[in-house]
Amino acid sequence: MGFFDRLSQVWKGFLSLWISDIENRNPEAVYEAAIEERIKKHRELKKAVSGIVYLRNKLQAELDQKEKELAEIQLQIPVAVEEGEDEAALVLIEKKDELDVAIAGLQAELDKVRNQAEDAKSGLLQFQSEIEKLKREKIEMLAKKQNAEARIKIQETLEGLSTDADIKALENVRETIHKRAAEADVSGEIKGESLDAKLKKIKAKTANAAARSQLAEMKKQLAAKRAAEAAAGVKKTM
């Protein structure tokens, strides 16, 4: 194989891949082309069938005509014989024999053509059925393609919705909140250990002690008063 032959093969390979890629990306066009091609073949087949049907009808008409002529001659032969027209009778008999042969040939040919016509019509109907079947297949397959593409798109969308960023953001927020809570706990824990807090405690205790001292003094005075009153009452009664 020469260089140009190899180059031609390589080019054909690239062309085949390019066409295949186009077909994969546009299946509707492939179906349309296939359907159109079958419709074209159907037209050609229909013309061929019409030719066979025409021939059948032509043979049938010729056969009918020959049989009609034979029937007339068969009626004429006895008359010629009765009239003594031997020459006419002989001619009629020869025509009858010729018609018998012609009719037999036409009948055989007609049988063949009739069978061909029936087969051709059956094939034409089957071809038409295949075209309708291909049209239905086109609708079904394109619908499957659309559904598959929709499912793929949804799946890709779901896969693209990564929750990693959201989870990381939530973890950061949670960590920040926990840290703030810890800061609050630490503030609460060390609040009681500060100097101000201790001074406030001492002040509170001091204020509480003064109040208790005053309360004790008041109770003491009240008890002395009651005791004086009680002593005065005893004297009066004496």
* Residue-wise pLDDT tens digits, 189-203: 555 555 666 667 667
Least trusted range by pLDDT, from 54-58, 84-88, 221-225: 221-225
The number of beta carbons lying within 10 Å of the beta carbon of residue 113 is 20
- Find out whether 106 and 90 touch, Cβ atoms under 8 Å: no
Least trusted range by pLDDT, from 99-113, 118-132, 146-160: 146-160
Banded pLDDT at 14 (limits 50, 70, 90): very low
Average pLDDT over every residue of 50-73: 92
pTM (predicted TM-score)? 0.47
Asked whether the predicted pLDDT for residue 3 surpasses 50, the reply is: no
**Per residue in 68-96, pLDDT tens?**
999 999 999 999 889 888 898 899 999 99
Q: Which residue has the tokens 């609050």?
A: 184
Asked whether the predicted pLDDT for residue 44 surpasses 80, the reply is: yes
For 194, the 3-state DSSP assignment is: coil
Structure tokens at 15: 């062309």
Average pLDDT over every residue of 98-120: 92
pLDDT at 187: 60
| Residue predicted with more confidence, 35 or 199 | 35
Asked whether the predicted pLDDT for residue 66 surpasses 70, the reply is: yes
- Find out whether 124 and 42 touch, Cβ atoms under 8 Å: yes
Asked whether the predicted pLDDT for residue 21 surpasses 60, the reply is: no
